[in-house]
């Protein structure tokens, strides 16, 4: 019940913030990867190139909290939603999956931690009110990313 109250409060705060905030582009450099920039075709639901991990750095911070068992930080989620607003809708889930995979490998997270990260990340589109309501990753790919 407490989790539900916290979720509703966070969702309400995000709704108010979304209605009253001017979107700005924030660039946070977490690593020096040379990944591809974001492009895709939302109408066709295809993503040909995903954003660099550093372009969604706050989302990575938000899902890393799950691996360590820390409660979600509203500021990371809010900043993540802001960054994801700049990602082509066709690329959102692929970008999250790639970022989790890279982050999990760099930190040498165990499969259980990567699964917790994936569970949190798959709900980001819904929490940010973007693209698909949930990233549809199979249970096999969640544990293996």
Name all domains of the chain by residue range, CATH numbers in brackets: 57-144 (1.10.110.10)
- Which comes out higher in pLDDT, residue 37 or 101? 101
- Which segment, 30-34, 41-45, 54-58, 71-75, is predicted with the most confidence on average? 54-58
Q: Looking at the predicted structure, is the pLDDT value of residue 23 above 50?
A: no
**Sign of the dihedral defined by the CA atoms of residues 101, 40, 131, 140, in that order:** negative
Q: Looking at the predicted structure, is the pLDDT value of residue 58 above 70?
A: yes
Q: Taking the model in full, what pTM does it have? A: 0.61
Q: Looking at the predicted structure, is the pLDDT value of residue 129 above 70?
A: yes
List b or e across 32-66, with b for residues whose CB sees 16 or more CB atoms inside 10 angstroms: eeebeebebeeeeeebeebbbbbbbbbbbbbbbbb
pLDDT class for 69, splitting at 50, 70, 90?
Answer: confident
């Amino acid at each position: 019940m407490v989790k539900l109250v916290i979720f509703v409060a966070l969702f309400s705060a995000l709704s108010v913030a979304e209605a009253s905030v001017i979107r700005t582009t924030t660039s946070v450099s977490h690593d020096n990867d040379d990944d591809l920039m974001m492009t895709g075709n939302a109408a066709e639901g295809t993503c040909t190139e995903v954003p660099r991990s550093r372009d969604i750095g706050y989302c990575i911070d938000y899902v890393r909290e799950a691996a360590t068992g820390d409660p979600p930080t509203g500021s990371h989620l809010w900043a993540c939603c802001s960054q994801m607003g700049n990602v082509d809708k066709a690329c959102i889930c692929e970008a999250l999956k790639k970022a989790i995979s890279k982050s999990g490998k760099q930190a040498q997270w165990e499969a259980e931690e990567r699964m917790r990260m994936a569970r949190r990340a798959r709900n980001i589109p819904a929490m940010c009110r973007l693209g698909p309501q949930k990233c549809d990753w199979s249970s096999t790919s969640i544990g293996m990313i």
